[in-house]
Amino acid sequence: MNRNSFRAATSKMLEAVTVTLVVILMLALGAVARTYETLYKFTGGADGNHPWAALIFDTAGNLYGTTYSGGDYGAGTAFKLTPNGDGTWTETVLHSFGEGDDGASPAAPLVSDEDGNLYGTTNGGGNYGYGCVFEMKPNPDGSWSETTLYSFTGGTDGTYPVGGVSFDAAGKLYGMTTTGGNGKCSYLGNTGCGTVYMLAPNPDGTWTESVLHRFNGGANGGYPDQGNPILDSAGNLYGVTRNGGLSGPCDWGDCGVVFRLTPNSDGSWTEKVLHRFTGADGGNPESKVHLIFDDAGSLYGTTLNGGLYGCGVVFKLTPSSSDKWTRRVLHHFTGGKDGGNPYAGLIFDAGGNLYGVTIAGGTHGYGVAFEMTPGAGGRWGEHVLHAFADNPGAYPGPSVIFDTAGNLYGITGGDLYETFGSVFEITP
């Protein structure tokens, strides 16, 4: 072989080795190519403005959600996105809030019953201006009718339900109010520290509200801001509060808790704090959906603040036979390229990987969509699926959801000045 032939052969071999090493490195880092697409961009007008709640699917593949403002009366909308044959999506406003006592400023995700009716909450409005729980039913002509099921009075029943509601097997609804009740939370002007409530349907179509628990702002938590409680198979409720618990380097001084409410035979409920955040292990859990369980009964969630870099964490709580729960931090967000300050909760895929979004950090500073993959020794690796840019995909606050094909869908809230939020899809 002459010198030129040797050099050519060596060059091809090195090129092949380099390509192989790059592929191996990409696989090791989890850098699987993903495609990001904006399905709908809100205009800030009648179609809605600043969506701030997770989406849900119906069985036909349509998406449903809410916007915090905009619409015909400026107080938000409930909307539907329908896929078209050419890959585009069409938005339809199902209801514009703010016309009367129907509520104003919905910030929580909708839930659906078996008949396709939708339920949710508004942060304001209702009969007394402190928010309400509503139901939306489809009509034969394609329109939807909205009914207020319960209006919060501003007293011990709670005020301002920013979080959504969850169903139990009997058709009762459970939720939390941010403030109200009888606790004295000084950082909220002594307006009450929030409640956990239940709405039970009556035979005549009305609903009755019962307060299951009132937070006191101390060791048992306070200010259950964004999430809705989840239920286990035994009927226990689980949730988080943004504050209360232990003092630490967190907003308003205390760092929040994870709690459980257990029903008693006399109809009362007993609270148990499963974990009090210290700041070092996370602080101010403000999940916009809720906690999630794995198959072994462990709980997973995020905190907005705290951790090694002050930018939030992903955490896991594992129960023992003696009902003691062990906390483990799976990831400390740095606020850099890996993201920072997750408002949103998490979801699992079929392989046991976790997915979520952060409202800050990333290459452009507008948040990221990320995947957490379990590895050897109980370690988890985080890698970024998408770094959001300013227009239109700024600040993804709510949790993402999967479709049946494994594509991710989510919401960006917009930048409050030039963009008004969007719906996106991330495809493997």
- Is the pLDDT assigned to residue 217 strictly greater than 50? yes
pTM for this entry:
0.90
Task: Work out the widest C-alpha separation in the chain, in whole angstroms.
Answer: 95
Q: Determine the average pLDDT of the residues in 206-214.
A: 96
CA dist list (Å): 414 to 224, 402, 417: 24, 22, 8
**Residue ranges per domain, the chain?**
1-31
- What would the pLDDT profile of 326-349 be if each residue is shown by its tens digit? 999 999 999 999 999 999 999 999
- What would the pLDDT profile of 7-57 be if each residue is shown by its tens digit? 444 444 334 433 333 333 333 444 455 799 999 999 999 999 999 999 999
**What element of type H or E holds 17?**
helix 3-29
Q: Determine the average pLDDT of the residues in 304-324.
A: 97
Question: Cα–Cα distance between 114 and 225 in angstroms, integer?
Answer: 28
32 in helix, strand or coil?
A: coil
Q: Nearest Cα to 55, choosing from 91, 29, 27, 19?
A: 91
Beta carbons of 114 and 168 less than 8 angstroms apart: no
pLDDT confidence tier of residue 287, bands split at 50, 70 and 90: low
Which residues, in sequence order, are CB contacts of 359 under 8 Å at separation 6+?
340, 341, 342, 343, 344, 367, 395, 396, 397
- Is the pLDDT assigned to residue 371 strictly greater than 90? yes
